[in-house]
Structure 1
Amino acid sequence: MPPHLLLHSLLQLRVPPRHPLLRLLHSYNPIDRPPPLDQPLHDAELWIAKALATAALLLPHYLPAFRRLAPSQVAAAAALRHAPCASSTLHLFSALHSPHSQLAIPPSAHSYRYVISLMCQSGRHTDALQLFDQMTDQSGYFPNARFLSFLSGSCATAGLLDAAAALLSKASQFGCSIEAYAYNKLLGLFIGRGRVQDAVALFEGWIQGRVYSPDVWSFNVVIKGVCKVGDVQKALELVERMDEFCCLPDTVTHNILVNGLCRAKEVSKGREVLRRLQRDGVCKPNVVTYTSVISGYCKAGRMEDAMAVYGDMVACGTSPNVVTYNVLINGYGKAGNMGSAVAVYQQMILRRCLPDVVTFSSLIDGYCRCGQLDDAMKIWTEMSQYHIQPNAHTFCIIIHTFCKQNRSGEALHFLKKMNMRTDIAPQAFIYNPVIDVLCKGGKVDEANMILMEMEEKGCHPDKYTYTILIIGHCMKGRIAEAITFFHKMVETGCTPDSIVVNSFISCLLKSGMPGEVDHIMRIAAGGASSSWKDPSPVTQSVDISVAV
């Protein structure tokens, strides 16, 4: 069919009046062009591009007629930009450029880059990667650094970390010099996903193969990753290797290293690094460096050493921040030395460092550990003077303490206050002590009500919730309900431990239910379904007192 008749046929297509491709053909305007291509597009090629796009998507059997027009790569690339969506673009690319298609126009590098970019933007990374391989392996087009960085970054953002790493590893093969930023970002994503060993392997492979030249940030990212998993020896090795690449460890490097050492309970080595920094003066320690060592000593219960580092910090002119004070207050509280904890708090106020919710929570926790609940409540009241709201952890401390003292009324009061807060997500570990103290007091109906409130709040019971309820109902002789909770426990994926199984079996035996014991044992061993029907009419009508 002659090209002019083809165009006339295309214009006569019976498609909806607002179809983008039909509007495309009717809207001929020399200045209405797609975004710039690698080469200029003449008016005739613009017509051909529009006709190609329309024919390929609506009347593909007309495509052979375009052979007489010998469409150029530029026209084909422009046609791709007229496709209304990603799927249509991919279909059009195949219709125009596939070796088995009716036109078989060799695709240009521009066409590849456009379609690959569009696939990425549409979340179709598998198609994008297939086209990229076709572009490099079959058509022989190599990407530039900018495009390779874009494709790798898009894959990484989509969670395809291995694909992103493979792309960056080929940079030298393509003659691209990618900035260290792209590699560093990908390494950070690997570590964020918990794939620290993969990140280390990639990093070492890249620097050994001279794929890229790492900077200080590169080392900081990897050192932080290995410290995160407690491999401080590897961290020290990486610090030593920085000199090979003319990278000097900065304050961030030392902070990561000191923090890693202290978390790994090697506080003495952390303090030695701190002393070296103080002595050399090349890279000065900051508040983070000091606080990491202080925190390490506090966790080890070595409060004198913690205060000694604090004294060095102040003497060197570094101002402690709220985290520093919180660490010291928490350390003294856990050591049962509330006098010193309060002294640190007072010094904090004198230095005009405003306390936060962690400060007050640490003080409350310290008083509760010492059994001084009245003092804890005074601190709770003092919080409001600073317009600070207690968080879930603060509520948890108070509720747990009231439950330990068997003061269920006060515990329920604070639980109710917490439930009125829309900004606090309830957690099972907060409810469990309340349910436990109620069950131990024989108030299983109230415990069941708390469970209902808990579930209405979207808080799922955990293994301990069910254990408390099973034993509590057994103690009250309400075996049928205990059995129901046991099966519900198993159905929700909570595995009962040997303590709850043995206690439950003891209750069932004393209740004269050996058949149910056999069923429970099979479930506990993973050999039977957890679906359950009431074992007998007796359990529905008789309240049997059982001592566990």
Structure 2
Amino acid sequence: MISKKPLPLLIEFNKQLTLIVKQKHYKTALTLIHKLTSSKITSLDTYIYNISINCYSHLRHVDLGFATFGTIIKHGHTPFISTYNTLLKGLVLEDRVSEAEILFKKLVREGICEPNEVTYGTVINGVCKSGGSDMAVKLVKFMEERGCRATTKVYSMVIDGLCKDKRVDCALAMLDEMVRNKVFPDVVTFNSLVYGLCSFGRWDEAKEMIVEMGRGGISPDVRTFNILVDAFCKEGMVEDGRRVVGVMVERGERPDVVTYSALIDGYCLRGQMKEAKEVFDYMVGNKIEPNIITFNSLINGYCRRANIDAAVELFREVTRRKLEPTVSTYSTLLYGLFKVGRCIEALKLFEHMQSVDVTPNFITYSVLLDGLCKNHRVDEALTMFRIIIKNGVHPNVVLFTVLIDGCCKNGKIGIAMDLFSELCASGLQPNVVTYNAMTNGLCNEGLIEEAKELVMKMEKNGAISNSVTYNIILQGVLKWKTREDVLLHLKEMEGRSFLVDASSFYLLLRSIPAKERDSNFADLIQKLVPREVLKSQSRLAKLAS
């Protein structure tokens, strides 16, 4: 078109560029716009600049979109509301939601242009995705106060955001408001609510919501059924999940890769690998291609069962199918390799994932350090920890806790104490798991008083001790202190309503002879030891006799 003489009108270029963008060929559109810029057409119009901004936004280069916006102003053109909407969309796509909020407030405060439904929808979508469902609710009220009626799509975004923020009751209240305003929910709205209710195990309400859909003439779609299947399977109720699949098929909906992956994950979580593999074979036999999520579930299942050879073979299958392993795939396989003591293979896999540009996350680092510590390679774990920091990763509480626990369990209490001090000096707050790991290390070394002082410090700093804390100290007292000290500690546990766990109880029975257990001990044991633990001990005693 550029080579034609005379040149076509700008509107013709706009039509062609719009078609190219609809096909998602953003780079091609930008190349053509650049050619236009250098052609005999001296001044492009706002429509073409908008197309350019839209392409940059989709390509996650919104800063270049803002540069194009500057060109619009420089050439004396007036930006449309769609121009601002596209810039807002670009910021949201790049997770720069706070910047999108600033731009939106500027538009309103300075009266640059009146936001429309798309403007509000874009900002609401952004704040919901960033966990700001409160702000989203306020924005709905604000848009209606300014005479812009919220649509089903907007309400559905807010309801979805509330459900994902675990505020299901607020989402239900929003549904009521929506209906009062004569804005009617669709299948997307109901899917979000069903997801939210299922996430909290509110099964009866989820079923009622599906009935409500039927009353409104809205049929559940594949996503509705998949939400139910996934929720049941995550709760270990795979049979219920299978029944939902049956209903799904009866209603004419075809189960997809998401459906079968949820079933596979459910079986894997229950350790039923034979059944999981059967579902996998069935879906493949029905020409439904498994995705990386399917493989991740199977690899996780085999790793949990310590069947690492099967997990490794599946990992190879991922490559053969030209799927890209995710950071989760690598982290899971690392866990499995360390679990069976194949540390060298695990370290090679860790190197490989980085060589193929898969960036480890905190879960990966945690698995790596924990695996080395549990295989008594603490020095390697400490070296790796320093390399991680050197590479610009700021360790979180979990990484420090893993190392502290590893050092304590491998007799390196001094290093553990240094790490604990480093954690506190870095501005991080140790949690109860960190304190328990450190307490356990001190107790193992016979430093009971120091362990008790640490617990006092822990509670002073706002981390609440739990039953695990007191059982750790009980085991330390049983190992290093007197019978009277044990009795005093048991009374303190009674005062705090902490129960004695099975391992502490068995140690107590071994440590204190029957003839030394007076009525005080007997009473405390009856109060503090769970009934099932007492029954278990009674059965063991009968077997021994």
TM-score range, shorter chain: 0.5 to 0.7
Residue 181 in 1 paired to residue 118 in 2?
yes
Equivalent position to 1:350, from 273, 282, 285: 285
What is the aligned counterpart of 1:336 among 257, 266, 271?
271
Q: Give the corresponding residue for 2:189.
A: 253
Aligned length: 385
**Residues 314-373 of structure 1: CA deviation (Å, up to 9, x unaligned):** 222222222222111111111222222122212211221111111111011122223333
**Counterparts in 2 of 1:283 and 1:407: CA distance versus 1, 3 Å:** same
Pairing 1:336-415 to 2, within 5 Å after superposition: 336-415=271-350
The range that moved more, 180-189 or 267-276, is 267-276
CA contact (8 A) 2:124 2:136 kept: yes
User: How many angstroms apart in 2 are the aligned matches of 1:34 and 1:425?
Assistant: 44
Which of residues 427, 441, 445 is equivalent to 2:361? 427
Specify the alignment match of 2:101 in structure 1. 161
Equivalent positions of 1:450-469 (< 5 A) are: 450-455=384-389, 457-469=391-403
**Cα offsets for 1:413-471 (capped at 9, x unmatched):** 4333334332x111343233443444455433333333344345544433343344445
- Please name the residue that 1:109 is paired with: none
User: More deviation in 152-161 or 197-206?
Assistant: 152-161
SS, match of residue 99 in structure 2:
coil
CA distance in 2, matches of 1:119, 1:420: 35
Specify whether residues 187 and 445 from structure 1 end up closer, same or farther in structure 2 by C-alpha distance, changes over 3 A only: closer
Return closer, same or farther for 1:503/1:282 CA change in 2, 3 Å cut-off. closer
CA apart distance, 1:230? 2.4
**1:213 counterpart SS class:** coil
Instruction: Name the CA distance, whole Å, in 2 between partners of 1:121 and 1:451.
Output: 45
> Distance in 1 between the 2:180 and 2:399 partners?
56
1:524/1:458 CA distance change after superposition, 3 Å = farther
- Is 1:203 aligned to residue 140 of structure 2? yes
Q: Residue type of the partner of 2:99?
A: G
Aligned sequence identity (%): 27
Kindly state the Cα deviation for residue 287 of structure 1 after the two structures are TM-superposed. Answer: 1.3
Q: Tell me which amino acid in the other structure corresponds to 2:365.
A: Y
- Corresponding letter in the other structure for 1:382: E
Residue 190, structure 1, aligned to residue 127, structure 2: yes
The offset of 1:406, in angstroms, is: 3.6
Provide closer, same or farther for how the CA distance between residues 271 and 461 of structure 1 changes in structure 2, counting only shifts above 3 A.
Answer: same
Shift of 1:289: 1.4
Is residue 153–residue 164 contact of structure 1 (8 Å, CA) maintained in 2?
no
| Structure 1 stretch displaced more, 350-359 or 162-171 | 162-171
Query: C-alpha distance in 1, partners of 2:415/2:140?
Result: 57
Offset of 1:307 from its aligned partner?
A: 1.0
The alignment partner of 1:355 has SS state of coil
Q: Which residue of 2 aligns with 1:231?
A: 167
1:10-37 deviations in whole A, cap 9, x for unaligned?
A: xxxxxxxxxxxxxxxxxxxxxxx9999x
2:198 is matched by which residue type in structure 1? C
- Residue 540 of structure 1 corresponds to which residue in structure 2? none
Aligned to 2:509: none
Q: Deviations over 1:57-88 (max 9, x none)?
A: xxxxxxxxxxxxxxxxxxxxxxxxxxxxxxxx
Q: Residue 417 of structure 1 corresponds to which residue in structure 2?
A: 352
Q: Secondary structure at the match of 1:412?
A: helix
State the structure with more CA Rg.
1
Q: Does 1:267 align with 2:207?
A: no
Look up the SS of the partner of 1:401 in the other structure. helix
Partner residue in 2 for 1:323:
258
Contact 2:408 2:437 in 1 (8 A): no
Residue of structure 2 equivalent to 1:212: 148
**Retained in 2: the 8 A contact 1:473–1:479?**
yes
| Local SS of the residue matching 1:247 | coil
How far is 1:519 from its partner? Answer: 12
Tell me the distance in 2 between the aligned counterparts of 1:286 and 1:476: 54
Instruction: Indicate whether 1:311 and 2:246 are aligned.
Output: yes
Is the contact made by 2:133 and 2:161 (CA closer than 8 Å) also made in structure 1?
yes
Alignment check: 8 A CA contact 2:232 2:241 kept: yes
Distance 1:433 1:300, change over 3 A: closer
- In the TM superposition, 1:107-146 aligns within 5 A as none
Letter aligned with residue 161 of structure 1: E
In structure 2, the partner of 1:532 is: none
CA contact (8 A) 1:232 1:260 kept: yes
- Output the TM-score relative to the length of structure 1: 0.58
CA deviation after TM superposition for structure 1 residue 165, in Å:
5.4
One-letter amino acid of the counterpart of residue 352, structure 2: K
Q: 1:448 maps to which residue?
A: 382
Query: 2:272 is matched by which residue type in structure 1?
Result: N
For 1:499, the equivalent position in structure 2 comes to 436
Give yes or no for contact 1:187–1:221 (8 Å, CA) kept in 2: yes
Of residues 384-393 and 402-411 in structure 1, the stretch that sits farther from structure 2 once superposed is: 402-411
Give the CA RMSD over aligned residues.
Answer: 4.5
1:471-502 deviation per Cα after TM superposition (whole angstroms, max 9, x unaligned):
55566666664454334333333333322443
Query: Which structure carries more helix by proportion?
Result: 2
SS of match in other structure, 1:259: helix
Quote the Cα distance in structure 2 between the aligned partners of 1:503 and 1:188: 47
Confirm or deny: 8 A CA contact 2:405 2:416 kept in the other structure: yes
Q: CA deviation at 1:203?
A: 1.9
The 2-side partners of 1:523 and 1:269 are apart by 41
**How far apart in 1 are the matches of 2:350 and 2:381?**
13
Report SS of the residue matched to 1:284.
Answer: coil
Matched, 1:288 2:223: yes
Match of 1:233, as an amino acid? D
Checking the alignment, whether the CA contact within 8 Å between 2:107 and 2:114 is kept in structure 1 is no
Give, as a single letter, the amino acid of the residue that structure 2 aligns with 1:359: T
Amino acid at match of 2:288: C
TM-score normalized by structure 2? 0.59
Question: Are the structure 2 counterparts of residues 337 and 213 from structure 1 closer, same or farther at C-alpha, using a change threshold of 3 Å?
Answer: same
Q: Supply the distance in 2 between the matched residues of 1:475 and 1:226 (Cα, whole angstroms).
A: 43
SS at match of 1:159: helix
* Amino acid of the structure 2 residue aligned with 1:274: I
Judging changes above 3 Å, is the alpha-carbon distance between structure 1 residues 232 and 428 closer, same or farther for their aligned structure 2 residues? closer
Cα distance between partner residues in 1 of 2:166 and 2:410:
47
Alignment partner of 1:359: what SS? helix
Give the direction of change, closer, same or farther, for the CA distance of 1:352–1:487 in structure 2 (3 Å limit): same
> Structure 2 stretches of 5 or more lacking a match?
1-41, 46-65, 71-77, 462-479, 481-545
AA aligned to 2:188 is: V
Distance 1:506 1:303, change over 3 A: closer
Deviation at 1:309, TM superposition (A): 1.3
How much does 1:284 deviate? 2.8
In structure 1, the residue matched to 2:543 is none
Gap runs ≥5 in structure 1 = 1-32, 37-117, 123-143, 527-546
Q: Is the 8 A contact 1:152 1:163 kept in 2?
A: no
TM-aligned CA distance change 1:315 to 1:494, over 3 Å: same
Assess if the C-alpha contact under 8 Å between 1:235 and 1:257 holds in 2.
yes
